[in-house]
């Protein structure tokens, strides 16, 4: 019999764990209780809607996430309008969570970055350190870029489970410029496949400026991520078609990649790009002379389409979701929409790894070791495959044309976290791995519990409980969480474990009890607490 049905027919006293245990439905029910209590309900065992939102936001699942639509309508049905005053009972909570896998996993701490708020704390720290950097100059080749406030700075991150965090000017829009190029390439790849696309464009870094008038020894652009190559991608997808229709498809693709948020279009940027386009025209004619374009290519249409792609506007939050869709092999984490095939994304990431940062690409691959793409607007997207994506926007550029703060941010991120492609060959434990549960790297689940007890980390104990760990579990020496919490004098943790009803006198293999540990450590409060509860 399914658990839910059984619960309804047995009409159990709600809190009675023993009857629950006998009735075979413990796991789901208890798991829900663990999750519920980890959000700290009030003394009536009810949770305010605002507290619920706070807990969810800490996991990185944000209010505007399209996966929360049905949850939001449920909450608005029971809401009195005041989220502090509207209470959710345990049964309502349970119903809510059972219907929503993303919320359940978020609160259980099983999303890609389990300790998400710690991770965001580190990002914020890097943001504040790098914010001071005033090096570099904004791009001045068109007035629209020259006029941008050089101090704008935004960082956004989105994981492949759609956990999001933004700091700084993350709601200001900026034009994509060259960060449009990977997506234009993906569109061409998706439509024509690898073989055909690379009959027209190489896949080698050029070693020169992004708009250098140079082609490879076959007379083709070096790669799709510099101007000549991006113009070629545009020629492929625009060939013999109505440019307006193709551009609509491009806009729609950006929208799908950013979880349904509509990109904008900056017409003045477009007009300026068109008006200062000699270099790009020269590149296009040079490619035509070398017979690089597919038949029927109209140079003017192709270039106008290219300028339009550069003039699309997004904010950092959106760009990070796009980067996360690439990290997620073409599926948008917020909608589950498969926008590109895995092969298209794999090839795009390979190119971003070798050619995404202009003629700093080799240096970036060496020091940062992640696929990325920058643009002259100061935009930078960085992909951490199977983990998530970052967007950084800071308009001051270095001599090569990359965002100064963007590059500095990446260096600091890689200094802290083992995201470099080859960090896995070192594994000396110096850099953090946010993909792991806090203590998982130390050893298995029981050890995680024991470590958490040792450090008095009650939040982590909650998380482990929610994942079904028995709080009475002992290691091979018979040491339990209570032994360790007592030995370290962690009063609150001992209290917490006692409330949870753990065995108060477990014996380790030296016949030691938690009380003996507390006495040995001279932890008076813990000793009193244990004795008062029957400790021997």
State in angstroms the smallest separation of the CB of 103 from ligand GLN.
Answer: 39
Three-state secondary-structure class, residue 373: strand
Rule CB under 6 A: say whether 161 interacts with ligand GLN.
Answer: no
Pull the structure tokens for residue 412: 């600091």
Rule CB under 6 A: say whether 465 interacts with ligand GLN.
Answer: no
Between 211 and 328, whose beta carbon lies closer to ligand GLN?
211
Strand segments (E) across 37-180: 46-48, 87-89, 154-159, 164-168, 174-175
Between 264 and 478, whose beta carbon lies closer to ligand GLN?
264
Between 46 and 172, whose beta carbon lies closer to ligand GLN?
172
Rule CB under 6 A: say whether 361 interacts with ligand GLN.
Answer: no
Q: Give the span between the Cα atoms of 105 and 366, in whole angstroms.
A: 35
Three-state secondary-structure class, residue 362: helix
State in angstroms the smallest separation of the CB of 277 from ligand GLN.
Answer: 8
Rule CB under 6 A: say whether 302 interacts with ligand GLN.
Answer: no
Torsion of CA 461, 463, 464, 470, to 10 degrees: 70
423 touches 413 (CB < 8 A): no
Rule CB under 6 A: choose which of 163, 227, 325, 335 binds ligand GLN: 227
CA contacts within 13 A on the Cβ side of 153: 20
DSSP code at position 470? -
Q: Give the span between the Cα atoms of 432 and 410, in whole angstroms.
A: 15
State in angstroms the smallest separation of the CB of 280 from ligand GLN.
Answer: 5
Total residues binding ligand GLN (CB under 6 A): 11
State in angstroms the smallest separation of the CB of 112 from ligand GLN.
Answer: 30
Rule CB under 6 A: say whether 206 interacts with ligand GLN.
Answer: no
State in angstroms the smallest separation of the CB of 206 from ligand GLN.
Answer: 13
Which 379-438 residues touch ligand GLN, going by CB under 6 A?
401
Decide: residue 5, CB within 10 A, 0-12 exposed, 13-18 middle, 19+ buried: exposed
Site string for ligand GLN, 168-197 (x = CB under 6 A): ---------xx-------------------
Name residues whose C-beta falls within 8 Å of residue 3's C-beta, 6 or more positions apart in sequence: 24, 25, 27, 28, 29
State in angstroms the smallest separation of the CB of 463 from ligand GLN.
Answer: 43
Between 159 and 206, whose beta carbon lies closer to ligand GLN?
206
CA dist list (Å): 102 to 35, 95, 482, 504? 14, 14, 32, 36
Place of tokens 């790894």: 353
Between 395 and 456, whose beta carbon lies closer to ligand GLN?
395
Between 33 and 308, whose beta carbon lies closer to ligand GLN?
308
Rule CB under 6 A: say whether 308 interacts with ligand GLN.
Answer: no
State in angstroms the smallest separation of the CB of 328 from ligand GLN.
Answer: 25
State in angstroms the smallest separation of the CB of 178 from ligand GLN.
Answer: 3
Between 106 and 379, whose beta carbon lies closer to ligand GLN?
379
Q: Give the span between the Cα atoms of 281 and 299, in whole angstroms.
A: 8
State in angstroms the smallest separation of the CB of 375 from ligand GLN.
Answer: 4
Rule CB under 6 A: choose which of 38, 59, 163, 211 binds ligand GLN: 211
DSSP code at position 397? B
Site string for ligand GLN, 264-283 (x = CB under 6 A): ---------x------x---
DSSP code at position 333? T
Q: Name beta bridge partners: 40.
A: none
Q: What are phi and psi of 12, to 5 degrees?
A: -75, 150
Between 190 and 359, whose beta carbon lies closer to ligand GLN?
359
Rule CB under 6 A: choose which of 71, 310, 314, 413 binds ligand GLN: 310
DSSP 400-448: TSSBHHHHHHHHHHHHHB--STTGGGT--S-SB-TTS-TTTTTSSHHHH
Between 270 and 419, whose beta carbon lies closer to ligand GLN?
270
Range 49-58, long-range pairs (CB < 8 A, 24+ positions): 49/75, 49/79, 49/83, 49/84, 49/86, 49/87, 49/88, 50/83, 50/84, 52/88, 52/93, 53/83, 55/107, 56/103, 56/106, 56/107, 58/116, 58/117
State in angstroms the smallest separation of the CB of 397 from ligand GLN.
Answer: 9
Site string for ligand GLN, 9-38 (x = CB under 6 A): ------------------------------
State in angstroms the smallest separation of the CB of 395 from ligand GLN.
Answer: 12
State in angstroms the smallest separation of the CB of 360 from ligand GLN.
Answer: 12
- Binding residues vs ligand GLN (CB under 6 A): 177-178, 210-211, 227, 273, 280, 310, 375-376, 401
């Amino acid at each position: 019999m399914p658990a839910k049905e059984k619960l309804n027919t047995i009409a159990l006293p709600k809190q009675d764990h023993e009857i629950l245990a006998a009735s075979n439905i413990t796991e789901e029910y208890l798991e829900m209780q663990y999750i519920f209590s980890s959000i700290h309900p009030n003394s009536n065992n009810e949770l305010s809607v605002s507290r619920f939102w706070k807990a969810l936001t800490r996991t990185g699942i944000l209010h505007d996430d399209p996966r929360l639509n049905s949850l939001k309508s449920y909450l608005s049905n029971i809401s009195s309008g005041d989220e502090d005053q509207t209470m959710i009972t345990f049964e309502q909570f349970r119903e809510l969570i059972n219907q929503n896998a993303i919320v359940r996993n978020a609160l259980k701490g099983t999303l890609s970055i389990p300790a998400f708020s710690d991770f965001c704390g580190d990002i914020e720290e890097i943001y504040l350190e790098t914010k001071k950097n005033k090096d570099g100059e904004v791009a001045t080749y068109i007035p629209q870029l020259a006029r941008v406030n050089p101090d704008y700075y935004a960082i956004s991150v989105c994981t492949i489970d759609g956990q999001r965090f933004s700091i700084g000017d993350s709601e200001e829009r900026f034009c994509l410029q060259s960060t449009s190029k990977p997506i234009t390439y993906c569109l061409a790849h998706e439509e024509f496949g690898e073989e055909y696309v690379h009959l027209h464009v190489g896949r080698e870094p050029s070693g020169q400026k992004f708009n250098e008038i140079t082609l490879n020894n076959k007379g083709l652009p070096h790669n799709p991520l510099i101007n000549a190559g991006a113009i070629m991608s545009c020629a492929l997808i625009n060939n013999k078609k109505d440019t307006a229709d193709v551009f609509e498809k491009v806009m729609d693709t950006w929208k799908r990649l950013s979880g349904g948020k509509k990109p904008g279009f900056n017409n003045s940027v477009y007009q300026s790009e068109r008006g200062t386009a000699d270099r790009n025209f020269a590149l296009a004619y040079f490619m035509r002379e070398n017979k690089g374009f597919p038949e029927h290519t109209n140079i003017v249409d192709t270039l106008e389409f290219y300028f339009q792609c550069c003039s699309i506007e997004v904010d950092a939050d959106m760009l990070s979701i796009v980067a996360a869709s690439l990290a997620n092999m073409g599926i948008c984490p917020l909608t589950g929409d498969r926008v590109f095939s895995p092969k298209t994304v794999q090839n795009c990431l390979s190119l971003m790894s070798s050619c995404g940062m202009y003629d700093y690409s080799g240096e970036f691959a060496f020091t940062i070791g992640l696929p990325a793409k920058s643009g002259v607007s100061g935009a930078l997207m960085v992909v951490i495959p199977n983990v998530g994506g970052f967007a950084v926007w800071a308009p001051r550029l270095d001599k090569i044309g990359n965002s100064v703060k963007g590059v500095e941010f990446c260096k600091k991120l890689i200094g802290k976290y083992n995201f470099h492609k080859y960090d896995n060959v070192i594994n000396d434990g110096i850099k953090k791995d946010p993909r792991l549960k806090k203590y998982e790297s130390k050893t298995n689940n029981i050890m995680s519990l024991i470590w958490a007890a040792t450090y008095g980390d009650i939040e982590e104990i909650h998380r482990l409980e929610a994942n079904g760990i028995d709080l009475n579990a002992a290691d091979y020496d018979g040491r339990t969480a209570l032994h360790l919490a007592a030995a370290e004098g962690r009063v609150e943790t001992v209290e917490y474990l006692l409330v949870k009803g753990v065995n108060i006198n477990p014996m380790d293999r030296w016949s030691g009890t938690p009380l003996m540990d507390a006495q040995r450590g001279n932890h008076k409060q813990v000793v009193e607490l244990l004795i008062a509860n029957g400790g021997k």
